[in-house]
Chain A
Amino acid sequence: MNGRNLPLAATLAVFVAAYAVCAARFPAFIGTRVPADLVTDNAFLGVIAVGMAFVVISGGIDLSVGAVMGFSSVLISLAVSRWGVPPMAAFLLAVGLGTGFGAAIGAAIHGLRAPAFIVTLTAMFLARGAGFLLTTEAVPIDHPFFRTVQDLAIRLPGGGRLGAVSLVMAAAFLAGGVLLHATRFGNSVFAIGGDRRSAELMGVPVGRTTVLVYAISGGCAALAGVVISIYTRAGNPLTGVGVELDAIAAVVIGGALLSGGVGTMLGALVGVLIQGLILTYIDFDGSLSSWWSKIATGALLFAFIGLQKLIVQLPRLSPRMAGA
């Protein structure tokens, strides 16, 4: 272990330990039903976290994703139930718009040399406002396609149902993981997050990479809108308020450094699952206020920030010189 994998190991350990605690108190956690629901219920957050992992590792932040998800769900519901657009076309339209919007955010961040925080905050207001322009209330979707997709599920032995949306999330994580960890583009993302100026001097295409990173994040946010519209069979301009913060928390609990350059896709996935697990536990308990989940998430975040600090202070490695 060279320090790099330590946060990921810690994240996994926390998840396993937390799951064991849950299972000890509520035997229902053993089996496939709860895990399958855990994945299905948090699919939208997972999809957003994929994009957020790219953003955070590149040293940025994207506050617009919750609003983009909300806009996308509204757009899909209106397109399908009011304008008669075929569902698949509506999905493509939403994801395309989200990706383009993200690319524009990335171009603004790079071109104006503006902080990501302020640019994506602006974008958040724009997207949220645009959603409300389309409609101010929830729009139910009554289309046979949605019912079919919702009923699509992989039935696991033991009664678990992995919904279609969980497959979307799995695909997103797989694709995101390969892109982040096994391509030149992924290395560029890490390089920019580690030291933007050096990366530039080493010939990394900083502008192109930044645009792509935010395009991926925007696309993932819109895809999360697709997921939530299937999951709830409705579109709502209020959907996804605060989800950007949950996604950032998931990525950081997953071992990413908010200042950039460090993190893994697997970690982000486990970060999402840990947050979902806390909610599920509170559900099972029944007597706890659901706000406890926020406190637990906060405590975990704090612990991981502390861990990162410790890792930075690991002793220097010393080289062995040949012949010495």
Chain B
Amino acid sequence: MPPAELLSVRGCTKLYPGVRALDGADFQVRAGEIHALLGENGAGKSTLIAILTGVTAADGGEVRIEGRPARPRGPAQARELGISALYQEGALVPNLSVAENLYLGREPTRFGLVRRRRMEGDARLLLAAYGLQIDVTSPLGRYSTAVRQLVAIARAADLSAKLLILDEPTSSLDADETAMLFEVMRQLKARGLGIVFVTHFLDQVYAVCDRLTVLRNGRTVAERAVGEVSRAELVGLMLGEASAGAGYPARRRGAAVGPAVATFRGFGRRRRVAPFDLQFRAGEVVAAAGLLGSGRTETALLMFGAETADSGEVEVAGRPVKLRGPRDAIRAGFGFCPEDRKRDGVVGALSVRENIALALQARGGWARPLSRRRQADLAERYIKALDIRTPDAEKPIEQLSGGNQQKTLLARWLATDPRLLILDEPTRGIDVGGHAEILKLVDELCTQGLSIYMISSELAEIAATADRVLVMRDRRPAGLIEGAAVSPEAIMAAIAAPPGEAAG
């Protein structure tokens, strides 16, 4: 007899105006398994999670928990049914103490008064079971994302959760923290919880999951044991037959490498990143690799003048340049797509057209506004050129998918006709299809003679794209890998090499 289904979703449908977000999706999770929920952006994962946690109601189909029909209205009711979810962001309250976060809404009380001592003692015990020894009276916000996530998981599991939904919990964790999280997930699995794990990292699916369900266009296209599905097959399932087998096509390297565009010598800033040397030639992709916190992003911030360097010099097209701020960098022909699109990149309420026109307008100054006509032309050109999928240029950018937002940001900088484009994690949080398109775009831009500096945590992506790779470690350059030597293994080795060796 197969193990009993903990959660069973059948024929689940959800309609939004103009969109069938879920179209008869099925989803089964057993007790004591880690189940990957996969799909491109827009496949229906978020909608399914919203229905399970009672944030929204389904229009059709049924949800059963341990065989009993369940229709949670609101997160509180879902919790009573044993379903808890952890979101990428906004899982807990940062200003409350760790203990208060663990017991919010169910604090031990006597005569209506909270028994703080008792609560803090309980909190310590609870976290100790996860191998976490921290001051539970400190505000949660003072701990790292990894600790916050463990606390959130501890809370959810302690709420006698039967089903724990983890929505991209690893997207802002480094390798060690991810390993720690996986350990906790396995521990909870052993205790009989069903865990739904949503991730964009296929490696992680194979590392920790037992079974997987793939959604596409609101329908369930596969439900398998992880061991039965190969990587290529999985990508095919997520993308559909048309693009099956699309991994990361390797770029034709060194095809059109031109003269030096920008040269950074001994560029650095005390306590942020040690001096590094980097040269960009026309038509070249230079990548930066390294763990989170290795100083990758800091190199980009310095190069764009978002932080001022206190050592080193810059030469652009043979002439020395001073970068006192982003405006200097823009004038020098640099463009920058930051890591956190939502916070530092897109202006959500503005239209696609306005977002594209932004950088060009900034360069022109406020006294010379871009005409509406000119803006519309620009928008139209780039929507076509970059294949930005939007009904029209006037749609607020926040309503676009992550991949299309990223393309709009690229368009913003391309409109300024840059020499050097700095892309910090251009494919983070973007589904597999969008991923490949962005990389293709990078390739095309290089062919046109642009230089690109790309920061990425995906080694395979770097290996497929970069002409040269700057490896960062502990906020200092740890090596430069060039040409044919670029491979995920070589980068990994440089990242992992003990300090003092393999310096560039």
Interface residues of B in 108-143 (CB under 8 A from A): 109, 112-114, 116, 128, 131-135, 137-139, 142-143
Q: Which residue of B lies closest to A202 (CB)?
A: B104
Whether A194 and B128, one on each chain, are in contact in the complex, defined by CB atoms closer than 8 angstroms, is no
Interface-lining segment among B84-92, B187-195, B360-368, B486-494: B84-92
Q: Which residue of B lies closest to A199 (CB)?
A: B93
With beta carbons under 8 angstroms apart, the residue of B76, B96, B116 that contacts A194 is B96
Task: List the B side residues contacting A183 at CB < 8 Å.
Answer: 109, 112-114
Taken together as a complex, chains A and B put the C-alpha atoms of A314 and B137 apart, in Å, by 16
Q: Which residue of B lies closest to A197 (CB)?
A: B90
Task: List the B side residues contacting A287 at CB < 8 Å.
Answer: none
Residues A195 and B142 in contact in the complex (CB < 8 Å), given A187-B96, A190-B96, A202-B75: no
Taken together as a complex, chains A and B put the C-alpha atoms of A197 and B137 apart, in Å, by 22
Task: List the A side residues contacting B95 at CB < 8 Å.
Answer: 190, 193-195, 261-262
Interface residue? B82 (CB, 8 A): no
Task: List the A side residues contacting B105 at CB < 8 Å.
Answer: 184, 187-188, 202-204
Q: Which residue of B lies closest to A322 (CB)?
A: B131
Interface residue? B147 (CB, 8 A): yes
Whether A195 and B94, one on each chain, are in contact in the complex, defined by CB atoms closer than 8 angstroms, is yes
Interface residues of A in 1-15 (CB under 8 A from B): 2-4
Whether A191 and B134, one on each chain, are in contact in the complex, defined by CB atoms closer than 8 angstroms, is no
Whether A319 and B142, one on each chain, are in contact in the complex, defined by CB atoms closer than 8 angstroms, is no
Taken together as a complex, chains A and B put the C-alpha atoms of A184 and B85 apart, in Å, by 22
Number of interchain pairs (Cβ within 8 Å): 111
With beta carbons under 8 angstroms apart, the residue of B91, B92, B113, B131 that contacts A178 is B113
Q: Which residue of B lies closest to A203 (CB)?
A: B76
Contact size range, A: 35 or more
Q: Which residue of A lies closest to B132 (CB)?
A: A319
Interface residues of A in 165-182 (CB under 8 A from B): 178, 182
Task: List the A side residues contacting B113 at CB < 8 Å.
Answer: 178, 182-183
Task: List the A side residues contacting B131 at CB < 8 Å.
Answer: 321-323
Taken together as a complex, chains A and B put the C-alpha atoms of A183 and B114 apart, in Å, by 5
Interface string of B392-409 (1 = CB under 8 A from A): 000000000000000000
Q: Which residue of B lies closest to A315 (CB)?
A: B142
Whether B142 and A198, one on each chain, are in contact in the complex, defined by CB atoms closer than 8 angstroms, is no
Whether A201 and B91, one on each chain, are in contact in the complex, defined by CB atoms closer than 8 angstroms, is yes
Residues A317 and B143 in contact in the complex (CB < 8 Å), given A184-B105, A184-B107, A203-B79: yes
Residue of A314, A316, A323 with most partner-chain B CB within 10 A = A316
Q: Which residue of A lies closest to B105 (CB)?
A: A203
Q: Which residue of B lies closest to A324 (CB)?
A: B131
Interface string of B275-308 (1 = CB under 8 A from A): 0000000000000000000000000000000000
Task: List the A side residues contacting B75 at CB < 8 Å.
Answer: 200-203
Interface residues of A in 70-96 (CB under 8 A from B): none
Task: List the A side residues contacting B23 at CB < 8 Å.
Answer: none
Q: Which residue of B lies closest to A186 (CB)?
A: B114
Whether A261 and B93, one on each chain, are in contact in the complex, defined by CB atoms closer than 8 angstroms, is yes
Whether A187 and B91, one on each chain, are in contact in the complex, defined by CB atoms closer than 8 angstroms, is no
Interface residue? A318 (CB, 8 A): yes
Residues A314 and B133 in contact in the complex (CB < 8 Å), given A184-B105, A190-B96, A262-B95: no
Whether B142 and A184, one on each chain, are in contact in the complex, defined by CB atoms closer than 8 angstroms, is no
B85 to chain A, nearest CB (A): 8
Interface residue? A113 (CB, 8 A): no
Interface residue? A320 (CB, 8 A): yes
Task: List the A side residues contacting B431 at CB < 8 Å.
Answer: none
Interface residue? B100 (CB, 8 A): yes
Interface residue? B230 (CB, 8 A): no
Residues A320 and B114 in contact in the complex (CB < 8 Å), given A3-B139, A191-B93, A261-B93: no
Taken together as a complex, chains A and B put the C-alpha atoms of A188 and B131 apart, in Å, by 28
Q: Which residue of A lies closest to B138 (CB)?
A: A2
Whether B114 and A194, one on each chain, are in contact in the complex, defined by CB atoms closer than 8 angstroms, is no
Taken together as a complex, chains A and B put the C-alpha atoms of A199 and B94 apart, in Å, by 10
B120 to chain A, nearest CB (A): 12
Taken together as a complex, chains A and B put the C-alpha atoms of A312 and B85 apart, in Å, by 28
Interface residue? B448 (CB, 8 A): no
Residues A2 and B133 in contact in the complex (CB < 8 Å), given A194-B95, A201-B87, A316-B142: no
Interface string of A4-46 (1 = CB under 8 A from B): 1000000000000000000000000000000000000000000
B residues sitting closer than 8 Å to A (CB atoms) are 53, 75-76, 79, 85, 87, 90-97, 100, 104-105, 107, 109, 112-114, 116, 128, 131-135, 137-139, 142-144, 147, 155, 180
**Beyond known contacts A2-B139, A190-B93: 8 more, CB 8 A cutoff:** A184-B105, A184-B114, A195-B95, A201-B75, A262-B95, A314-B142, A316-B144, A321-B180
Could you list some 30 contacts between A and B, CB below 8 A? A2-B135, A2-B137, A2-B138, A2-B139, A4-B97, A4-B138, A183-B109, A183-B113, A184-B105, A184-B114, A186-B114, A187-B107, A187-B114, A188-B104, A190-B93, A190-B96, A200-B75, A201-B75, A201-B85, A201-B90, A202-B92, A202-B93, A203-B75, A204-B104, A205-B76, A316-B142, A317-B142, A319-B133, A319-B134, A321-B133
Instruction: Give me the 9 closest cross-chain CB pairs, A-B, nearest first.
Output: A194-B95, A261-B95, A203-B76, A194-B93, A322-B131, A2-B138, A198-B90, A191-B93, A182-B113
